Structure 1
Amino acid sequence: MKDSFFRSMTWLHTWVGLLAIWLLLLIFFAGTISFFRHEITLWSQPGFHRSINPELPQQSQRTQLEHSLARLQQQAPHAASWSISPATTRQPFLYESYRLPAASGERRGKQVETYYDASALDTALTYQDSKGGNFFYRLHFDLHYLDVITARWLVCLASLFMLVALISGIVIHKRIFKDMFQLRGGKGVRTWLDAHNVSSVLALPFHLMITYTGLITLIFMLFPYPALTQFNGDFRAFFEAQNPTRAVTKASGEAVAMLPAPALLDQVYTRWPEVTLTRVILENPNDRNAVLKVYASNGTQIQDEKPVLKLSAVDGTLIAAANEQLSGGETFYDAMNALHAGRMAEPLLRWLFFGCGLLGCAMLASGAVMWAKRIRERMKTADSASFGLQLVESLNLATIMGLPLACCAFFYANRLLPSTVAGRSEKEILAFFLTWLACIIVASKRKDTTQWRRFALLNACCWALLPLVSALQIDTNLINAFMSGKTLLWAFDVVCFITAAVFGYQALHLRKHQLRTAWQLQTVRA
């Protein structure tokens, strides 16, 4: 019974892992990068780099808000809504936007966005069309080209497979603590098994947490029935009951003067004297039903939904408040969402999440390669590889080596595409997917050790040259970025060089392996 049980668990672990492993690699890869999505977005906007200046202190948050409200009152007094996001440490610029009233046949009006230097509030920053880190964030759960609902169902199923693989892996792992420190090189399949074990066990709490919380973030797709039953199939009513500030307030059409910006903000800071605001939205400006929504930062609290106030912009009275005190269920759900996204993470913890995400990618990659190598070892010399084995080997090469190369192509496109080109952000994304497609085509033709080494060399060269290309395009390099205290820019370059070094080491190791194998074959023949 014991042997049968462990065989069953081993079979389950192998096949639920293998069936979803390449989709999981994409999800893990994009999710890991997303821990630094704001930093990548800032890197992708050279016009914003002037705002990364520690020598010029930012204006106070209240000054930024008052200045923006006054400016929007002049620029767009009849807009449908205004939106302001004051500068933060990770987004050191002031964001303003207004939405025009919807024209006939339009669901929503045009959005007009502007970015300003937080130290000189009238200095507009040059924006170029780019998704930046938000591309990887959305790719993580929307898979970009797929229908949103279809994509999220696929991500749900992949996450369920991942959770089953993790639990069954723990069950079949008899020497879980001993294997944490055991990594033997040059042992073929045994080496890949060691790599799989080490990357799995070292970050096991993270793997379990990120998989389970990922399922919780999509819980209303998996289990919508309690909410649908309680609210007669109306999800909108459910979300408005959970957060009354989400209720839509329609314009009355009657023009009424609003409170001045200082008086309006006084109502907020009286209730929240020490608060840090992350976003301010004013709906129906200069209308009888003008309302102000303000969102507070959660800081390092493990809470996803931000506390929000909804005030009348005409007389300052409180209309609704939400997320100030959460129930037990809301606290659990919010904590799971915050943990998954790492929203509460300061830089050190964010790097820890990033490192654990890379270990997750290594766990998946080593598991996929180990399966293929194990089948190869069992084959006789005269046997030809089955279609399934060839497919797995091609997907391994295309995904493990192709995703980093596609990511690098995305960054090259960001620096090399002219800022005036139409649909620029979509062309950056197209560069990502076309590069990945090229890797898939090449991997389908040949997938031996030589091809792995070529991909490693290509990755090493591309990542090593990226900082140079970036410096030539934006006139900022690692040295002057370091000297001027622009940590983001020089840290990005350092990560590129480290990535290039890892792939360079891989290429060198594969070359040595090829030479050693060739020497052994010659010895046997002799």
Structure 2
Amino acid sequence: MKESFFRSMTWLHTWVGLLLCWLLFLIFFAGTISFFRHEISLWNQPAVHNIEHNKQQQHSLIESGLEYLNTAAPEANRWWIGLPSSRQPELQVSHRHSQEEGKRDKWLDERLDPNTLLPIEGLVETKGGNFFYRLHFDLHYMDRKLARWLVCFASLFMLIALISGIVIHKRIFKDLFQFRPQKGVRAWLDAHNLSSVLALPFHLMITYTGLITLIFMLFPNPAETLYGDGLKGFRADFYPERQRIEASGKKLNEPAFETAFAHFYRNWPEQKIKRVIVDHPSNTAVNIKIYGDNGTLIRDEYPYWQYSGTTGELLQTARLDPSNAEMLYGGMIAVHSGRIAHPGLRWLYFICGIAGCIMIASGCIMWAKRIRERLKPTQTASFGLKLVETLNIATIMGLPLATSGFFYANRLLPSEMVARADKEVLVFFVVWLATALFTSLFRDKRAWQWLAYGNAAVWLLLPVCNALTTGSNLITYIQEGNWILASFDLAFIATALMFYMQAKKLAEKATANKNVSNKRTQVTAEQRA
């Protein structure tokens, strides 16, 4: 009975891990990168690299943002002001305008230097780190609802694989200290066990909380039972700030901004503000929405205040004193997304995410190697094995190569190009597709070796490309104390060294195997003679 149970768990662990492993690798890979999505957005905008940390108070910046928007877009149906932070140094101002019926309203985004309050020149159109953030659960180029269902199923498979993996690991703590290189499949098993056990709490947390982020899509019945109009009613109750406010049609010349903010600062003087949104600033339906900054609190949604723009009266608040259920739900989402201010914790998330990528990749490779080793000399590989080997190389080696392509596109595409942000994303997928086509022709160790050398070269040259296109480099970043940008160059170089070491090891192994094969051929020839 015991042997049967463990055999069943081993079978379950193998197949739930294998069936969606390439999608899981993409989710883990993009999610790991998105822990630094704001830093990537900063790197993608060289024009904001030299902006000094603003010394103005938040109320002065808000007033300046409102004045700018009142001059630039008085007839817009919404204003949006995002205050600077250590990860986003610019003052962000956006205005949205009504379009024809059937078309989505159009946002126009602008960025101001918080010290001079002048528009920043030389900005380029880019999705920045938000591309990787959305990719890891929306999958891009795919219907959003379908993509999220696929991600949910992949996460469920991942959770089952983790739990079954714990069950079948009889020596889970011993595996933490055991790694036997140069042992073929055994080395891959040790790598799989080590990366799994080392970051096991993170893997369990990130997978479970990932399901929680989409819990109401998976289980809508509680909300549909409690609210007459189902999820729509639940969201209206839980997210009052997201409810649409209709314009009145009556013009208003001077909204009561001073009255509203005076009330806010008088009652919540220590509260930092994340953003301010003004709905219908030019008519009597004007509403002022203030979002507080959570700082280091483990919370997802921001505290919220809504004021009437005509009288300055406080209309409603939300999440100032959240319930235990709200704290638990929001806390799990915040833990999953890593929305915590401390850089050291984000680096820990990143390292654990890399361990998750290694865990998934080593499992895929190990399965293919085991099947390959069981083939007799006269047997040819099946279509399934060839497909798995192709997907392994295309995914594991192709995604880093495609990511470097995304960064190169940001530096090399003309700034005046139409739909430039979409072209950056297109380069990412074209490079990935080219890698997949290449691996469909070469599935053996040569493909791993060539792509490792290719990755090493492109990642090593990326700091050079950055220096040539921006005029700044690792040395200048260190001299200026700009450690965020310096970290990018250091990370690029470290990635290149990692791939170079992999390529060199594969080359040495290929030479050793060739020598062994030549000796065997020579011995066979001598025996025949």
Identify the TM-score tier after normalising by the shorter chain. over 0.9
Aligned to 2:55: 58
Q: What are the Cα deviations for residues 440-459 of structure 1, in whole angstroms up to 9, with x where unaligned?
A: 11111111112111000000
**Corresponding position: 1:71 with 2:72:** no
Aligned to 1:300: 296
Task: Write the mapping of 1:17-36 to structure 2, written as runs, cut at 5 A.
Answer: 17-36=17-36
Aligned to 1:319: 315
Q: What are the Cα deviations for residues 95-142 of structure 1, in whole angstroms up to 9, with x where unaligned?
A: 011112x24425443322210111211243432111111110110000
CA distance in 2, matches of 1:457, 1:156: 35
In the alignment, which of 76, 80, 84 is matched to residue 81 of structure 2? 84
Q: What SS does the corresponding residue of 2:115 show, helix, strand or coil?
A: coil
CA distance in 2, matches of 1:344, 1:425: 27
Contact 2:255 2:281 in 1 (8 A): no
Aligned to 1:483: 479
Displacement after TM superposition at 1:200 (Å): 0.3
Task: Write the mapping of 1:85-484 to structure 2, written as runs, cut at 5 A.
Answer: 85-100=82-97, 102-259=98-255, 261-484=257-480
Q: What are the Cα deviations for residues 261-314 of structure 1, in whole angstroms up to 9, with x where unaligned?
A: 444321221222111111100111132221100111111111101000001122
Contact 1:243 1:323 in 2 (8 A): no
CA distance in 2, matches of 1:426, 1:112: 16
Contact 2:251 2:283 in 1 (8 A): yes
Displacement after TM superposition at 1:508 (Å): 0.7
Contact 2:179 2:187 in 1 (8 A): yes
Q: What are the Cα deviations for residues 164-217 of structure 1, in whole angstroms up to 9, with x where unaligned?
A: 000000000000000101111100000000000000000000000000000000
Q: TM-score when scaled to structure 2?
A: 0.96
Aligned-residue Cα RMSD (Å) equals 1.4
CA distance in 2, matches of 1:414, 1:266: 43
Contact 1:394 1:443 in 2 (8 A): yes
Contact 2:255 2:286 in 1 (8 A): no
CA distance in 1, matches of 2:99, 2:176: 62
Q: What are the Cα deviations for residues 456-505 of structure 1, in whole angstroms up to 9, with x where unaligned?
A: 00000000001101111111111112111222221101100000000000
In the alignment, which of 495, 499, 503 is matched to residue 503 of structure 1? 499
CA distance in 1, matches of 2:511, 2:306: 69
Question: Which region of structure 1 is more displaced relative to structure 2, 338-347 or 266-275?
Answer: 266-275
Contact 1:258 1:315 in 2 (8 A): no
Unaligned runs of 5+ in 2: 524-529
Q: What are the Cα deviations for residues 40-67 of structure 1, in whole angstroms up to 9, with x where unaligned?
A: 011111112122x35xx43222111011
Displacement after TM superposition at 1:315 (Å): 1.7
- Which amino acid in the other structure matches residue 370 of structure 2? R
CA distance in 2, matches of 1:207, 1:422: 40
Unaligned runs of 5+ in 1: none
Displacement after TM superposition at 1:248 (Å): 2.4
Q: What SS does the corresponding residue of 1:96 show, helix, strand or coil?
A: strand
CA distance in 2, matches of 1:464, 1:391: 31
Structure 1 residues 103 and 21: CA distance shift in structure 2, 3 A? closer
Aligned to 2:526: none
Contact 1:66 1:262 in 2 (8 A): no
CA distance in 1, matches of 2:445, 2:46: 39
CA distance in 2, matches of 1:147, 1:322: 32
Q: What SS does the corresponding residue of 2:234 show, helix, strand or coil?
A: helix
Q: What SS does the corresponding residue of 2:74 show, helix, strand or coil?
A: coil
Contact 1:460 1:500 in 2 (8 A): yes
Q: What are the Cα deviations for residues 65-93 of structure 1, in whole angstroms up to 9, with x where unaligned?
A: 01111222222222211110111111000
CA distance in 1, matches of 2:172, 2:101: 61
Aligned to 1:516: 512
Structure 1 residues 388 and 103: CA distance shift in structure 2, 3 A? closer
Count of aligned residue pairs for this structure pair: 522
- Which amino acid in the other structure matches residue 491 of structure 2? V
Q: What SS does the corresponding residue of 1:35 show, helix, strand or coil?
A: helix
Percent of residue pairs bearing the same amino acid type: 52
Structure 1 residues 184 and 346: CA distance shift in structure 2, 3 A? same
Q: What SS does the corresponding residue of 1:293 show, helix, strand or coil?
A: strand
CA distance in 1, matches of 2:36, 2:66: 30
CA distance in 1, matches of 2:341, 2:187: 34
